[in-house]
Chains A and B, each alone.
Chain A
Amino acid sequence: MKLIFEKSKDGRTGYSLPKLDVPEKPIEEMIPESLIRKEEAELPQVYETEVVRHYTNLSRLNHAVDVGFYPLGSCTMKYNPKVNEKISKFDGFAYIHPYQPEETVQGALEIMYNLQILLCEITGMDYMTLQPAAGAHGELTGMSIIKKYHEDRGDFNRNKVLVPDSAHGTNPASAAMCGFEVIELKSTEQGLIDLEELKKNLDENTAAVMLTNPNTLGLYEKDIDTITRLAHEAGALLYYDGANLNAIMGKVRPGDMGFDVVHLNLHKTFSTPHGMGGPGSGPVGVKAFLKDYLPIPVVEQDEKGFYYFNYDLPKSIGKVRSFYGNFGVFVKAYAYILFMGKSGLKKASELAVLNANYLRSKISKFLKIASDIVCMHEFVVDGSEFKKYGVKTLDVAKRLLDYGYHPPTVYFPLIVPEALMIEPTETETKETLDGFAETLEKILKEAEKSSELLKNAPHNTYVRRLDEARAVKNPILRWKVDV
């Protein structure tokens, strides 16, 4: 398929402007010489029909949660209710400007304020910032807060952060970005935190322990109370990666488990679009003693009920994003929370766990599951058995594309060989789960007969097997004008 730029022909346009009904004024009279563009911008020149066809056809090449099952582990690809989209496009939300005076956007501020409160309630935290634009940005914000907290106490020796070997790759990366040394904690055979390993590594240099619960194997850390107590006794703070919150909403709260800082992914747990349909949003919640370090501004309400941006936090880590975060996403998440209510959110988590265990049980009849503990919202298949058919996890994943499924997360977590990480989410029917399990079994039978069929997969997609190595080494990220 050609790029829109390659379809361009001089003089074609996709717009028509009404006749000018005011006197024309030369641009030089209004804009300083230095800011006036000397050459035409290299924009594609195309008719409206072509624009519509181009993007419609592009969208048809894509897999999306609106097209089919998308069990991408750790990513919570749940259905994005269309009503949320509609609400977020209301004029009062879509056509406001970040520089508008506060008194003209009270409704928008009220939504942000209320969303902060609701997210605090769901996570058991005291204060929340909505600014971070996605999960890893939330991690960076949260870890910066932790760093500032220790330094503000005059404790400059806490330069280490403990992260389990099953963690999301962003955890060690975010800690390292904040200047911490990352210490990897080896998990137990079952894939849980090893308390002895934790004790051995906790000391007066530990700034924080970063965890997700349930962890990346989809297992609930049953010793979480002991873990947070041990860390606190050593003077370290506890960071909660909210990527897996979908398993526990309304059941248990990270704040009650002893976590001090939490990030959420509104685009995962709270049903806002994800991936290319984003943008994301990664609010960060803290316990009261960390409030002063939150990024500015925070939305507050005065005694007269007026909502405003509070920039007066002298110990703040500063701004982490232009303006106030991805506002449209807040509206969608807020609509979702109000629509679901307390019991609905709880039910969503229960069904997410039920769906995962149902699928796990079906798949365990023909594939090895990495851990024999009952899972939460996701589970991991140990793909080392694929070897006997002469194929790898990647080949199985590529073959799934031929059957119209988005493959699960592959080769993560790193502690499971040839991992396939499956998260069905609560919004899938039993028939969809059955269909996926049957297809997976069928693919194994295909592999038994001919490993080549899998090794050359996908066969039915618009593009065939991509050269990932070349994409990493020689990425073409920009279209350039031919001269």
Chain B
Amino acid sequence: MKKYSKTHEWVEVDGKIATIGISNHAQEELGDVVFVELPEIGKEVKKGEVLCSVESVKAASDIYAPLTGKVIEVNTELDTTPEIINQDAEGKGWIAKLEFTDESELDDLMSEEEYKKFVEQH
């Protein structure tokens, strides 16, 4: 089950682990991604805080943590081939895996359907 934040991150939950990336819409808006500053493993973030940043030919953008938790894994492929985000933002272009602590925070995120509507309105 994939969920989305208002700041255009996606989350895929598997047990206590959430895989996080930026949405396909966000990728289109950013343009060609040239650098991803990955978070450090072990970093603890609160929901809404800056998790890491993504730099495209247009601008550097902060990526916000959609859930509170601890970073347990990062996609090191992005170090050398950040363009994976443009090719497959919601699959191979995942950024980090988070061990999240508060399941109720998932309720604040949008379903795919809701996110689609949200993007159309903004």
B91 within 8 Å of A by Cβ? no
Interface size class of B (residues with CB under 8 A): 10 to 19
Highest count of chain A CB atoms <10 Å: which of B29, B32, B57: B57
In the bound complex, residues from chain A placing their C-beta under 8 Å from that of B82 are: 473
Hey, which chain A residues are within 8 Å of B58, CB to CB? 411
A473 touches B59 (CB 8 A): no
B-contact bits for A369-404, CB 8 A (1 contact / 0 none): 000000000000000000000000010000000000
Q: Choose among B35, B57, B59 the residue that contacts A468 (Cβ–Cβ < 8 A).
A: B57
In the bound complex, how far is the Cα of B59 from the Cα of A468, in angstroms? 12
Interface residues of A in 452-483 (CB under 8 A from B): 468-469, 472-473
Query: Smallest CB–CB gap between A456 and chain B, Å?
Result: 16
Determine whether the beta carbon of A394 is less than 8 Å from that of B34.
no
Interface size on A, residues (CB 8 A): 10
Q: A469 to B34, Cβ gap below 8 A?
A: yes
Q: Contact at B34–A414, with CB atoms within 8 Å?
A: no
Tell me if B90 is interfacial: C-beta within 8 Å of chain A.
no
- CB neighbors of A among B35-94 (8 A): 35, 57-59, 82-83
Taking CB atoms, residues of chain B closer than 8 Å to A469 are 32-34, 57, 83
Q: Which residues of A399-421 are within 8 A (CB) of B?
A: 411-412, 414, 417
CB-defined contacts of B33 to chain A, threshold 8 Å: 469
A146-184 interface code vs B (CB 8 A; 1 in, 0 out): 000000000000000000000001000000000000000
Contacts of A468 in B (CB 8 A): 32, 57
Q: How far is the CA of A296 from the CA of B57 in the complex (A)?
A: 38
Interchain CB contact under 8 A, B83 and A414? no
Complex formed: what's the CA distance from A417 to B57 in Å? Answer: 15
Per-residue contact bits, chain B 16-34, to A (CB 8 Å; 1 contact, 0 not): 0000000000000101111
Residue of B nearest to A393 (CB): B58
* Bound form: Cα–Cα A411–B29 in Å: 10
A418-474: which have CB < 8 Å to B? 468-469, 472-473
Q: Are A414 and B59 in contact (CB under 8 A)?
A: yes
Cross-chain contact of B34 among A169, A412, A417, A473 (Cβ < 8 A): A473
Q: What are the residues of chain B within 8 A of A417 when measuring CB–CB?
A: 29
Q: Is there contact, CB below 8 Å, between B57 and A472?
A: yes
Nearest A residue (CB) for B55 = A472
Interface contact A472-B59, CB-CB below 8 Å:
no
A12 to B21, CA, bound (A): 58
Give chain B residues whose Cβ lies under 8 Å from the Cβ of A414. Answer: 59
**Chain A neighbourhood of B31, CB < 8 A:** 394
* Residue in chain B with minimal CB distance to A467: B32
Return the CB mask of A3-34 against B: 1 if under 8 Å, else 0.
Answer: 00000000000000000000000000000000
Most buried by B among A394, A412, A469: A469
Closest Cβ of chain A: how far from B7's Cβ, in Å?
Answer: 13
Cα of A473 to Cα of B35 in the assembled complex, Å? 8
Please name the residue on chain B nearest to A471 by beta carbon: B57
Instruction: Identify the closest chain A residue to B122 (Cβ).
Output: A417
Chain B residue nearest in CB terms to A419: B58
Would you give the shortest CB distance from A385 to chain B, in whole angstroms?
A: 14
- Which residue of B has the minimal Cβ distance to A411? B58
CB distance from A359 to the nearest CB of B (A): 24
- Complex alpha-carbon distance, A394 and B29, angstroms: 11
Give A204 to B34 CA distance when docked, in angstroms.
Answer: 38
Hey, which chain A residues are within 8 Å of B59, CB to CB? 169, 411-412, 414
CB-CB nearest in chain B for A469: B32
Interface centre among B34, B35, B59, by most chain A C-beta atoms within 10 angstroms, is: B34
Enumerate chain A residues within 8 angstroms of B35, measured Cβ to Cβ.
472-473
- Which residue on chain A has the smallest CB distance to residue B82? A473
> Which residues 42-63 in A have Cβ within 8 Å of B in the complex?
none
Closest residue to A474 on the B side, CB-wise?
A: B34
Closest to A387 in B: B28
Closest B residue to A468 by CB, please name it: B57
What residues on B are CB-neighbors of A169 within 8 Å? 59
**Closest residue of chain A to B59, judged by CB?**
A414
User: With the chains together, A411 CA to B31 CA distance in Å?
Assistant: 11
Complex CA gap A473/B79 in Å reads 11
In the complex, chain B residues whose CB is within 8 Å of the CB of A394: 31
- In the complex, residue of chain A having the shortest beta-carbon distance to the beta carbon of B83: A469
- Closest CB in chain B relative to A26 CB, distance in Å: 54
Q: Give the chain A neighbours of B83 by CB distance below 8 A.
A: 469
Q: Chain A residues near B57 (CB, 8 Å)? A: 468-469, 472
In the assembled complex, the CB of B66 is this many whole angstroms from the nearest CB of chain A, namely 20
Complex CA gap A415/B29 in Å reads 13
Instruction: Tell me, rounded to whole Å, the shortest Cβ–Cβ distance linking B5 to chain A.
Output: 17
Q: Report the Cα distance A140→B41, complex, angstroms.
A: 34
CB-based nearest B residue for A392? B31
Q: Determine the distance from Cα of A468 to Cα of B29 in the docked complex, in whole angstroms.
A: 15
Q: A residues touching B (Cβ–Cβ < 8 Å)? A: 169, 394, 411-412, 414, 417, 468-469, 472-473
> Would you give 12 A-B contacts (Cβ < 8 Å), ordered by A?
A169-B59, A394-B31, A411-B58, A411-B59, A412-B59, A468-B32, A469-B33, A469-B34, A469-B57, A469-B83, A472-B35, A473-B35
9 cross-chain pairs, A with B, having the tightest CB-CB distances, nearest first: A469-B32, A468-B57, A472-B34, A411-B58, A469-B34, A473-B34, A469-B57, A414-B59, A472-B57
Besides A468-B32, A469-B57, A472-B57, 10 new A-B residue pairs in contact (Cβ under 8 A), listed by A number:
A394-B31, A411-B59, A412-B59, A417-B29, A469-B34, A469-B83, A472-B34, A472-B35, A473-B35, A473-B82
